[in-house]
Chains A and B, each alone.
Chain A
Amino acid sequence: MTQHRGSAFGLDTHGVSRRSVLRGGLLGAAALAFGGSVLSACSGGGGAAGGSGLPLAAMPTYVEPPKPTPFLPGSADGVMDVYKAFPLDGARTVEGTVGDGGDFQFLVMTYGQPAPPLAENAYWQTLNAELNLNLKPVMVPYADFPTKFPALVAGDDLPEVVSLPMYMNTPRLPQLAEAKFTDLSDHLAGDAVKKYPNLAGVQESAWRNAFLGGRIYGVPKSDPIFGGQLYTKTDLFEKAGVSEHPQSLEELQETAAALTDSGSGVYAFGGPITELVLQVFGVPNKWTRTSDGTFVPHYEHEGFVPAIEAMASMYKAGSFHPDTATMDKTQRDSLFRTSRLAMTYDGNRAFGIIADDRELEFGMARSFEKDGGTPVYWTGGGAYAVTMLRKTDDAATIDRFLRVMDWLSAPFGSKESFVQSYGAEGDNYSIIDGVPVLNERGQREQDLGFAYIAGAPQILCNPQGAPGVDEAIHTWQTSVVPFLTDNPAQHLYSETANAKSGSLEQGVTDAITSVFLGRDSATALERAIATWKSNGGDKIAAEYAEAYVG
């Protein structure tokens, strides 16, 4: 990388920015394609060796954790429990002291300003006291993670604990793990996990992410299994007199047309809805495994190209905001909030929309199939990140690491979970009407990132957020459960995918954008898919078929 002119340093724009990948814009599809296809699975079948030649580790045994009675119960399928408030008198789930008074250095990503330093950070101090450790975060701005991480690896400067987010495609992760991180299988596989009761309370869908080459290398931070959803701006729908739950493709198109009023600057959509249309057309979740064991990519599904064409025709009809191609998430959210976009497709919790605005009235569209039939809903990976321990043989270090993870994975309602969420009374939160309420300082100090490296299954509890949101999400999740479609390759490792999926997928994503915006006809997309197949897609399919176990 050459140096930039005029300045002594200049790698000023060469600092590779993942911004475009994560802004949920047109490249968002590529981001969603990254996550998950990296780690290998273990479906409990015995015997098949992992890459390391060691036997396949067993899935950690699941032991249902104690939890308070939810206001609205979830389900084993993944619907989240809803609570109205955090219990103040939770029981302790971790016995004894967790730490040994030493330093605990961990690598974590930051999405905003890093937390205030220890001396001013009551939350941090509380955690240190609780755990009897000296927490030392190594913060990396999320967009620069692909740059910083290889440097740390190359220089052998990895902190003791590394938390790798699932949506980052870390190159050669299984080999990297084998070379630089500790194999935790002996401590976590099967019943061994019961030594750490809270870790035993983490579900299988999250644990699957922690397997590399058939062995357990890390502890997951569980995520809801739901992917994205279509948010609808209620007032615009009421005004246009259309239902917020279109039940077919035709209805969606009519709804979009009815909602759009370009004269007043109101449009139905402001960003690509690729995932939505694909699911509407019944396209499976990235891969399908046929009865004879072959893996078929969703690109080859009969609905794939027509789905993109349908999206393109809506663009042509004017239902999309003219600046769709260059708008970023902040602008899109702003337009949605001010009723200039009627619908927006966003992730699980859509923080930008919901959490920031208590007055926002919105809905979440139910899944539907293009002809009104049975829809599909794509599940996600089940974990936000996997946290690993630098390679060591020292039993005490490993034990300490697992005890910290155990503490972090304490279930909702427990004392430990409370401390993680709220910190120190007075400085970080106060009790108002029996409900603990975070103050501004409490919010900022949590940017320590510590709570993001591991965690129990998530629940819905936002007493400080907009009222009724949690119930609405719960209802929506329940409605979607019958249609959950897994990606059979989610936790499988393919060498080609790991090495090239980024650039391979980019070709298809670019073609999708091209067709969507009307620059090209669908043949361009078909060509791109053919290129994808010949440049590596077919190889990936073969590798997945081989890697599949059970």
Chain B
Amino acid sequence: MVAPAVVVLLLFTYIPLLGNVIAFMDYVPFLGFRDSEWVGLDNFSTLFSDGAFWNALWNTLQITALQLLLFFPVPIALAVFLHSVLRSSVKRFVQSVVYLPHFLSWVIIVALFQQMFGGAGVLNRFLITHGVTPLDIMSNPDTFKLLLTFQGVWKDAGWGTIIFLAAIAAIDIHQYEAATIDGAGATRRFWHVTLPGMRPIIVLMLILRLGDSLTVGFEQVLLQRDAVGPGAAEVLDTYVYFNGVVDGSWGTATAAGLLKGIVSLVLVLVANSLAHKLGEEGVYQR
């Protein structure tokens, strides 16, 4: 039954994964795999010796942490909130619009933020005319990571509710009845029926997000990198872009990709075993 999936993955993921060997080579496309020079761990040592790489890694980890703390709970809370709306017409309407910003490209979202919060934006013009010093929101390196997270929430919180709404819908409605009969109010129902019902999916999503954690947003960062400077804004993906792709250093780019994968693996394994401690199946169980 799993066969078709396996074949696809084998052909298009596993075999090409062997191509990651170029992380150990000085790969040049027209020479191909066979004729490109083998350099061993040179690509990795180039990365490790570059202060900018560590800066990018550190920024990436910080943004990941912020996203986990500030972004991850929002769709859950939003989903619970939406679910509690009873008028089905309203519920359906809100469900259908809440994910809209997901479809806007980052170009547009950054431009809109610029118009609202930029130096000459609506907010600051309002402040100026009322004699208040304008706020530097869009080009402040110290708050940049928060700005990124906030933009992410605007864009994708609604989209994130989709899966949690599905999780809530899967909870047996009789449990609510039983809980109410037992005397539970709304809050108790939430803690003892809704949240536990969603828990497997929440844990699952958390683990999956960790697996992807170091991919914090390429285009979003690239568009605003100049405004705050690479010290605050460089993330792994943009670092790889400038140091690997732009120069055509496929070897270095792939090496960075491998490092990303390894860090994500560690994070996922840790999260998975924590999940087991909580009694959840998590993603993988021995």
Secondary structure at the B interface, as helix, strand, loop or mixed, is helix
- When distances are taken between beta carbons in the complex, the residues of chain B under 8 Å from A1 are 257
Nearest CB of A to B30, in Å? 5
Closest to A500 in B: B247
Q: Is the CB of B212 within 8 A of A502?
A: no
- When distances are taken between beta carbons in the complex, the residues of chain A under 8 Å from B243 are 503
- Give chain B's interface residue range (CB within 8 Å of chain A): 35 or more
- B247 contact from A4, A19, A321, A499, Cβ within 8 A: A499
Question: Which of these binds chain A: B71-79, B92-100, B167-175, B216-224?
Answer: B216-224
- When distances are taken between beta carbons in the complex, the residues of chain A under 8 Å from B245 are 16, 146-147
Nearest CB of B to A274, in Å? 12
Q: Is the CB of B114 within 8 A of A326?
A: yes
Report B55-76 residues with CB < 8 Å from chain A CB: none
Query: A20 in the interface, Cβ–Cβ < 8 Å?
Result: yes
Closest to A152 in B: B29
Q: Is the CB of A13 within 8 A of B219?
A: yes
How far does the alpha carbon of A151 sit from the alpha carbon of B260 in the complex, in Å? 23
- Which of B28, B107, B220, B257 gathers most chain A CB within 10 Å? B28
- A17 contact from B219, B224, B250, B257, Cβ within 8 A: B219
Type the 1/0 row for A504-515, where 1 means its CB is closer than 8 Å to any CB of B.
001100100110
Q: Is the CB of A501 within 8 A of B247?
A: yes
Q: Is the CB of A323 within 8 A of B247?
A: no
- When distances are taken between beta carbons in the complex, the residues of chain B under 8 Å from A325 are 138-139, 226-227
Q: Is the CB of B212 within 8 A of A5?
A: yes
Q: Is the CB of A154 within 8 A of B246?
A: no
How far does the alpha carbon of A403 sit from the alpha carbon of B241 in the complex, in Å? 40
Query: A27 in the interface, Cβ–Cβ < 8 Å?
Result: yes
Report A254-275 residues with CB < 8 Å from chain B CB: 265
- A323 contact from B32, B120, B141, B249, Cβ within 8 A: B120
How far does the alpha carbon of A176 sit from the alpha carbon of B31 in the complex, in Å? 9
- When distances are taken between beta carbons in the complex, the residues of chain A under 8 Å from B121 are 323
Nearest CB of A to B237, in Å? 7
How far does the alpha carbon of A171 sit from the alpha carbon of B248 in the complex, in Å? 6
Q: Is the CB of B215 within 8 A of A322?
A: no
Nearest CB of B to A264, in Å? 11
Query: B229 in the interface, Cβ–Cβ < 8 Å?
Result: yes
Query: B267 in the interface, Cβ–Cβ < 8 Å?
Result: no
Q: Is the CB of A14 within 8 A of B237?
A: yes
- B120 contact from A2, A5, A171, A321, Cβ within 8 A: A321
Type the 1/0 row for B191-228, where 1 means its CB is closer than 8 Å to any CB of A.
00000000000000000110010010111101110110
Q: Is the CB of B226 within 8 A of A27?
A: yes
- B246 contact from A150, A169, A323, Cβ within 8 A: A169
Number of interface residues of A (CB under 8 A): 48
Nearest CB of A to B4, in Å? 14
Closest to B227 in A: A325
Closest to A267 in B: B120
Q: Is the CB of B212 within 8 A of A150?
A: no
- B223 contact from A2, A20, A265, A506, Cβ within 8 A: A20
Query: A519 in the interface, Cβ–Cβ < 8 Å?
Result: yes
12 further contact pairs, Cβ within 8 A, besides A2-B212, A17-B222, A506-B246: A2-B215, A5-B208, A20-B222, A171-B249, A179-B31, A265-B120, A322-B124, A499-B247, A499-B249, A500-B247, A502-B246, A503-B243
Q: List 25 A-B contacts (CB under 8 A).
A: A1-B257, A13-B106, A13-B220, A14-B237, A16-B241, A17-B222, A147-B245, A151-B29, A175-B30, A176-B30, A179-B31, A265-B120, A321-B119, A322-B124, A323-B138, A325-B139, A326-B110, A326-B114, A326-B118, A328-B107, A503-B242, A503-B247, A507-B52, A510-B230, A513-B226
A interface residue numbers (CB < 8 A to B): 1-2, 4-5, 13-14, 16-17, 19-20, 25-27, 146-147, 150-151, 153-154, 169-172, 175-176, 179-180, 265, 321-323, 325-328, 331, 499-503, 506-507, 510, 513-514, 517, 519
Q: Which 8 A-B pairs have the closest CB atoms?
A: A322-B119, A171-B248, A325-B227, A502-B246, A154-B29, A153-B29, A26-B226, A150-B29
